Amino acid sequence: MSALMVNESISYNDLKELLDVTDGNLASHLKGLEDNGYLKFQKGFIGRKTSTTYSATKAGEKAFRQHLDALEQMIRGTQQT
């Protein structure tokens, strides 16, 4: 999600290279994020090759910020009430 938060969109191949993961591993993580409504994808063509790009949804951005807030609270040893 962090890669999607700092890029308007990112291609499957760029994500795979950035994260240094296998196709299967990346596909399963992307499917989970998509199933939860955290990302959307767009399929298209570059020349004759298929291209899939991903971007974060508003729900994904909100969930990611909440996750970062929770991590920060944990690091600081505080809890939000």
CB 10 within 8 Å of CB 4: yes
Give residue-wise pLDDT tens across range 45-65. Answer: 888 888 999 999 999 999 999
Instruction: State which residues form the domain around 36.
Output: 2-76
Could you tell me the CATH number of the domain that includes residue 36?
1.10.10.10
In a domain, 81, yes or no: no
Give residue-wise pLDDT tens across range 28-43. Answer: 999 999 999 999 999 9
In a domain, 37, yes or no: yes
What's the pLDDT band for 19 if we cut at 50, 70, 90? very high
pLDDT at site 37:
97
Residue 20's Cβ-side half-sphere holds a number of Cα atoms within 13 Å equal to 0
pLDDT at site 17:
95
Q: Tell me the C-alpha to C-alpha distance, in Å, between residue 57 and each of 8, 31, 64, 74.
A: 10, 14, 10, 26
pTM: 0.80
Counted domains in the chain: 1
Residue 81 has pLDDT above 60, yes or no: no
